[in-house]
Amino acid sequence: MSELDQSWEKIRQAGDNLGVRSLFSFAHQAAKAGSHGKEIAEAYAMAVELQDRDPDSPTYGNYRWYRSNERPQDLNAVEFVTAEGILTWNHHRDDLSGEARNLLEDLLRMNVNGVRGHRVLVTYTNIFIKRTWNCIALGEAFEIPDLAQEGYEAFETWCRYTAENGFHEYLSPTYYSVDLTNLEKIARYAGRSEEREKAERALHHLWMDIGANWYDPADRLGGAHSRDYDYIRGNSERVALRMSNMLEGQASEEGHVMPETVRDAVREVRQTYPRMVCQSWGHESGQTASQYMTETFSLASSCASRHNMDKVLTVNFASGRDTPMMNLIMDGRGDPFGVNPVTEKDGHTKSRHLVPFIARVQRESEVLMLLSAGPETWAPLIAERPKEAANPLQTTGLSFDASGMPSRLLSHLAIPLKAKVSWGSETLVAPDTPQTHSLDLDEIILVEWDGAAVAIRTCHVDTPSGEPGQLALIVDDQGIEHGVMRLTWTHSESEPDGRGSLAVHVAAGTADAAGDLKATVSGATEVSVDGDRIEIAVDGRHGRMRVVADPPANERSVLEGGEQAQGEAVLWVNGRDYGKEIWS
């Protein structure tokens, strides 16, 4: 069977699991191929059944994402199907049967209502850009000038925001590909030349961001990042393929080719070692990220949480894409590796962790980080689901699909199973059986793998009960299955009735410098807790590192000892701010 035959068979057999995106995707691919005319019309007829056509409904013109949904819940549905359907209309409508063409036109005109009724904040990067393109494309295709103007004004807003603050869904292995696709559509097909030129600048900025943060020895985006569905490795197959094609000067699926000057700049920044990257990803306090890269390792951190699928502290090793990265999270579900997804009420299945308060400073290959979770962290998780249609809470990255009170409060640092882990006089090398080792909180822990070493020290850990926290190195069956073990700090083994916080001092380097790394994190440490105010200070390799914060108030009053550019940059690499240059 051809791929299109297989796709149609899946649609036919899907039952209640039928997704509306698959209908428009199948129709577009079949129209490009000039085949399956009867099935295209059937697909569009199915889409009509999934569309809300009640003019009195708050989701008028939108779609049930799955046939099993009672009503539209994920309002992004209309954006995804419009972005594909409008290309079918613009480029292939003459290849459709009369029935299919009439159905597609009817759907797209109805989509206008769904797009107009979908409220999206500028910080919801991938959907904001997609909606912007949809407004422009629908408005220009069907001669609705005010809709096209709405799209152009939205794009101006997004460009101004991004020029000052960077990409809010920063370094997302999943959503950067979506951003690229929709920026390319604007650059290629928007009616106004000025907006096409701004889309080219945005693409330049985005590719420099990807290139600066791409860790070649692991063939992935190496930095701390938002919205990642692959907790263990964070691989970016689609972005990797797109970058390879872009650098070769190949046209993208949208027919877009990046200028040679941009391709050369991306190559140059990727080949620079060591490099320090500092960038902004938003307008609020702490919305910055940093990454230090050598040919042996990369160490990266963020100063705030964006989403419940973030990676906020990462270490990558120079041993290819199959090696897990080290990754620190706070967990309320007992899912340390993100492999036990939950199905939300809208039908999507995702692994989700907590969204803690974070304050950190990073100086080259050294990080001091504070994470803290308390009642304000899970308030959105236990809030009553609103009766109106769902819409993302972009300020926190949490959906309205409340998941309930955390059943425990833990912090986990994932470690490659093949690594060597040492503490005190003990050493564990590539374990292959489940085991648990209780560690003293003041132990210096050393992780070594493939020529790199990482030293970790617990500076502070507290619990809701006020009892001392616990630390263990754990190898379990699930970790063995996925090639990882973990350090786990226990704040509460049951439903937490208060705050839990963790501060760690981390230093990375080459394996032959392991002794120096241990000495680095063994220096003097000062900890002060006064009510909700937490102060952590250490003697770092380059001087004093200090954070002072009030987690419930989301305040970071002192961030001392990090790279100066961490509070000033858009996209800064080794002293040069590419982000500001591109948009100047």
- Residue 226's alpha-carbon distances to 231, 301, 491, 550, in angstroms, are 11, 11, 24, 23
- Rounded distance between C-alpha atoms, residue 460 and residue 331, angstroms: 18
Find the helix or strand (DSSP H, E) in which 423 lies. strand 420-423
- Rounded distance between C-alpha atoms, residue 167 and residue 161, angstroms: 9
| Cβ atoms 164, 157 nearer than 8 A | no
- Rounded distance between C-alpha atoms, residue 552 and residue 558, angstroms: 16
The single-letter code of the amino acid at 268 is E
Q: What are the sequence ranges of the domains in the chain?
A: 1-119
pLDDT of residue 389: 46
pLDDT of residue 353: 87
Distance of CA 268 to the CA centre of its chain: 25
Q: What b/e readout covers 292-329, taking b as 16+ CB neighbours within 10 angstroms?
A: bbbebbbbbbbbbbbbbbbbbbbbbbbbebebbbbbbb
Q: What b/e readout covers 333-352, taking b as 16+ CB neighbours within 10 angstroms?
A: bebbbbeeeeebbbbeebbb
* Beta carbons within 10 angstroms of residue 158's beta carbon: 21
Report the chain (584 residues): mean pLDDT per 10 consecutive residues.
92 96 97 96 98 96 96 94 97 97 98 96 96 98 98 98 97 96 97 98 98 97 93 94 97 97 98 98 96 98 93 97 97 91 68 90 98 92 61 39 80 98 97 98 97 98 94 98 98 96 98 97 95 97 97 97 91 98 97
pLDDT of residue 347: 65
C-alpha neighbours within 13 Å on the C-beta side of residue 118:
31
- 78: region left, alpha or beta (phi > 0 left; psi from -120 to 50 alpha): alpha
pLDDT of residue 397: 37
- Residue position matching structure tokens 């080792």: 437
Q: The pTM is what? A: 0.95
pLDDT of residue 456: 98
| Cβ atoms 314, 326 nearer than 8 A | yes
- 290: region left, alpha or beta (phi > 0 left; psi from -120 to 50 alpha): beta
Number of helices (H), then strands (E), in the chain: 15, 26
pLDDT of residue 308: 87
pLDDT of residue 1: 58
| Cβ atoms 366, 390 nearer than 8 A | no
- 36: region left, alpha or beta (phi > 0 left; psi from -120 to 50 alpha): left
